[in-house]
Structures are given as C-alpha cells and as structure tokens.
A and B are shown apart, each in its own frame.
Chain A
Amino acid sequence: MLKISIDKLSALYDAIAANNELILPVRKAGVVDYASYEEGADVAIDTLKTAKSPKNAFFPQFETLYNVNKKIIPTDASAEEGACEGAGVALRSTLSVEMAPLVDKDFVIFGIKPCDVKGIEVLDNVFLAEPVDNFYKARRDHGILVTMACNEPEESCFCSAFGIDAADPSKAKADVAVWMADGNLYWKAISPKGEALTESVKSVFEDSDEAAVEATKASIEGILAKLPNANLSLDMWGKGVLDDRFYSPVWDEIFKPCLACGTCTFVCPTCQCYDIKDYTTKDGIQRYRCWDSCMYSDFTMMAHGNNRNSQKERFRQRFMHKLSYYPDKNDGMFSCVGCGRCVDKCPQSLNIVKVIKAFEASKAKEGQA
C-alpha cells in the first residue's frame, strides 16, 4: 500500500495527467460533476455524490456516431456515386461517410465511488454483450478506474442493499482502490491496469502499512450500519417476479406526482437507454446518439405511436427495468446500485426507495388482510 499527503494531491493529479486524461470531481457554477483536470479546475475530491454519475465518461450523454457529407464535384473527377436524373451535366454529387473516431488514449477516472463502479458493471452487461458497442468498448478499454471509499455516507445511500461495500473499494471491479484517512490518501492497485498506472506515478508516493485504512474501514462500516436504508429489503424483486409486480395496483397511485422529467434517468449511473438522431449539417447529416429517458412521452416512439401511452406505464417501465427485467436477463443482478442520486434529485421526492417501500407496505397490508 502507498500513501500521499492530502496536501500534495495536486502532485498526484499532475503525475496522472502527464500520461492520461484525468477525470475527477470538479466544481463548476456551484455544482460538482466529473470533468477533466484542467488548469484552474476547482477539484472537489471529497464530494460524496456528484450531481451526475461518472457514466458520462463511458457512455456520454451526446456522441457523434458518423457524418454523411454530400459534395458536388465536376464529372471528370473520380466519383463514387452518380448524379441525379438528367445526367450529362458537368457536375455530379458524391456522398461520403465518415465514422466518428474511437477513443484511443488512456484516461483515468479518479475518485469514483464503489456504487458508481458497480454502475459501470451494469452498463458492461448491456454494451459489451453481443453485438458489442464499439464506442463503449473503446472507452472501457482505455478507462482506468481509481475508486475511493466513502468516508461519510449519507442518509440517501443504500448501496449495501446491493452488496456494495462503500468501506472497501478494493472489492470493486476497478483498477486502483484509494482511501482518505488521517490526512493521507492511501493507494492500492487492484488490477493489472491499476498496477501499470501505479508504476507510472509511483514517484509521488511513499510506502505505508494498512493500519489507518483499516481504522477508516471500521468507522465507515459503523456508519453504514446506521443508514436508514441500510437494510432495504429487495425480497420482492429480482428474477421471475415480472407478472406479479407488473400488474400490481401499487402503480396506480404511486406514479401520480411524477413530472415525467428525466432527472432520475440522467443522474442515474445505470440508465442506459439512448436515442439515435440525425442533425442536418451544412452539407449532410450528423448521426448522433444521446441519452433518452423512459419517462419521456416520446420514448420508443414508433410510426404508429407509442406503446406506453400513460405516465403510469412509463413510470412502471423504469422501475420494472431496474428491479425485474434487468435481473431476469442478468442472473439476478439489479440495475440499481443504491447511489441515491435520484433520492436527492427527484423534484417531487419520488424515487426507487419509495417504490420499493410502497411494495413492501402493500405486501404487509395484504398479509394483515
């Protein structure tokens, strides 16, 4: 295990940034989100929860897939495609397709919390399954995750319900685990990628034992046990519950305050739905994809219309996807990691915890009756 004094963190950042793009929590206009480490960046490394999750680094909210350009050239120039009807003119048009480049440089996400690491695992099951999403895979191949323990978990956290250990990031599927303890940052490589990174920045560290880390882990575990939703029951969810939950009357009332905004979706580390659209550029189109939200009225809109016409159906889609459809397809793994961002951010204070609890309550009531 290595350590560096918190006062000297900028030396570590500089060392990482020398060979990689460094992405870490940065405060901008009062809000902390993952952003590039640039000169003058207001790094807020002790932030528990960034407003948006770090999934943006692998699955950006907006990314270009390819460009199609039309050019008009003289007929004697070499052309791939023919002109329109009425040939024999001096000009013809050509179309060229230009793929967006794949990420080919390493980048480091520093300070990512264990829940968000789990969130990336959730995305992997979608994007790395056949057919593999090349854009995502390139970023995954080049992304290095430095995950950090959560020293002061908050009441909206419920990661432990999903088996995530906020005290011990070394259990996460990341590359380096770090802790902040007694004025130092402790560093431990947990994958070959992590070891390579460690090697390249080793000079800023000094060696250390694990005593301070162990103490911190114990303190975090103590707090985790006291979190109000530490023991959130997921008994009613997982594989094979689709029919029962889908037709539950709980949905009839609970969705009502939902604004149909996309806040929960866009702050969520696991939401993975996107839309593909064309933007008409000067001489062609740019085909891009951008996050979509199942809360939106035009989500999965088709020529005939929409197959989820009411907000109840759209609301149900989001939670059923996270707690039932996804587990059905991924061996019981939930598509929620308990980061609690939606708990903090929902404008109507409606969130997945309330949904889970509402189902529990309804079951309890049935039991009584």
Chain B
Amino acid sequence: MPMINGEFRPKIVAFCCNWCSYGGADLAGSSRLSYPADVKIIRVPCSGRVNPMFILRAFERGADGVIICGCHPGDCHYSTGNYYARRRMTLLFSMLEYIGIENGRTRVEWVSAAEGVKFQATMNEFVDKVKSLGENVRLGDLRCKD
C-alpha cells in the first residue's frame, strides 16, 4: 500500500471534460485552491467520451478511486454528451456496487469552468472518501502491484 509519512495515499484518476471541468480545475489552480496531489487529471473532450472500460482499466491498474467530471446537465458543450455519460455511469456504478466493490470509489460530479471552488471541494471530499475506504484490493490486478 503506498504510504507517505504513515498515511495511505490513494491513486485517483479524474476524467475532466475539456470545456467545463478541466477549466474548473484550471480555475482552482489559478485561484491557488489546494487539493491533494493524489488526484491526477486526464483531459477528455466530453464526459460522454469516457468509456466504462477506462474506469475499469484504471482500477485494474491500481487506481483506488475514479471520478468523472463534466459540464452541468444542460450545459454540455456538445449539448447531450453528459446525459449519456450520466446513464452509463449510473449503470456502471450500480454494477460495481452489485459485485461487491465498495461504494465511493467512483463518482460523477458536474463542475463548470467557473466552479474552481467546487472543483477543490469535490476533490477534497472524494480523496477523503477513498482514503477512508483504503486500498482498492477487490478490483486491482495483482500483476500491477509493487
């Protein structure tokens, strides 16, 4: 388990849509709104671009939490991408819950480009939640461990 100074440091992948949430993360940055370095952001054009496979892949490869951020419903730069993402992720998360993956390792949050504060708060909350769940042992591939 990756520990720094005796504290569990989770690996967290955040998929952020280019138009809203990535901008929200940029705004959090330019406003110096700090959140844990455990969060690493992957830029995608739209939350609707996120294939469920990416999420499972992240877990397989040792991620402890995966969060998808997109434009608020109704504000999608491509009109409808986040609506499809919402359905896909709802069903996927429900399936993960069903096979016994701890709740809270996955999350979807709508963050606009103007919501640096929300981005920070979301990431803080999510990291805390994943920390409380500990290392992801149920979904990881042993071959990816240290």
**Chain A residues at the B interface, C-beta cutoff of 8 Å:** 279, 281-282, 286
Q: How far is the CB of B101 from chain A (nearest CB, A)?
A: 20
Write out the residue numbers on chain A whose beta carbons fall within 8 Å of the beta carbon of B3: none
Q: How many residues of B contact A (CB 8 A)?
A: 5
Write out the residue numbers on chain B whose beta carbons fall within 8 Å of the beta carbon of A279: 143
Complex CA gap A281/B62 in Å reads 11
- Nearest B residue (CB) for A64: B143
Write out the residue numbers on chain B whose beta carbons fall within 8 Å of the beta carbon of A281: 143-144
Write out the residue numbers on chain A whose beta carbons fall within 8 Å of the beta carbon of B62: 282
Mark B103-144 against chain A: 1 for CB-CB distance below 8 A, else 0: 000000000000000000000000000000000000000011
Is the CB of B146 closer than 8 A to any CB of chain A? yes
Write out the residue numbers on chain A whose beta carbons fall within 8 Å of the beta carbon of B145: 282
Q: How far is the CB of B47 from chain A (nearest CB, A)?
A: 27
Q: How far is the CB of A317 from chain B (nearest CB, A)?
A: 31
Complex CA gap A286/B145 in Å reads 12
Write out the residue numbers on chain A whose beta carbons fall within 8 Å of the beta carbon of B144: 281-282
Given A282-B144, A282-B145, 6 more contacts at CB 8 Å?
A: A279-B143, A281-B143, A281-B144, A282-B62, A282-B146, A286-B143
Q: How far is the CB of A281 from chain B (nearest CB, A)?
A: 5
Write out the residue numbers on chain B whose beta carbons fall within 8 Å of the beta carbon of A286: 143
Complex CA gap A286/B141 in Å reads 13
- Nearest B residue (CB) for A286: B143
- Nearest B residue (CB) for A281: B143
- Nearest A residue (CB) for B146: A282
Interface CB pairs A-B, < 8 A, 8: A279-B143, A281-B143, A281-B144, A282-B62, A282-B144, A282-B145, A282-B146, A286-B143
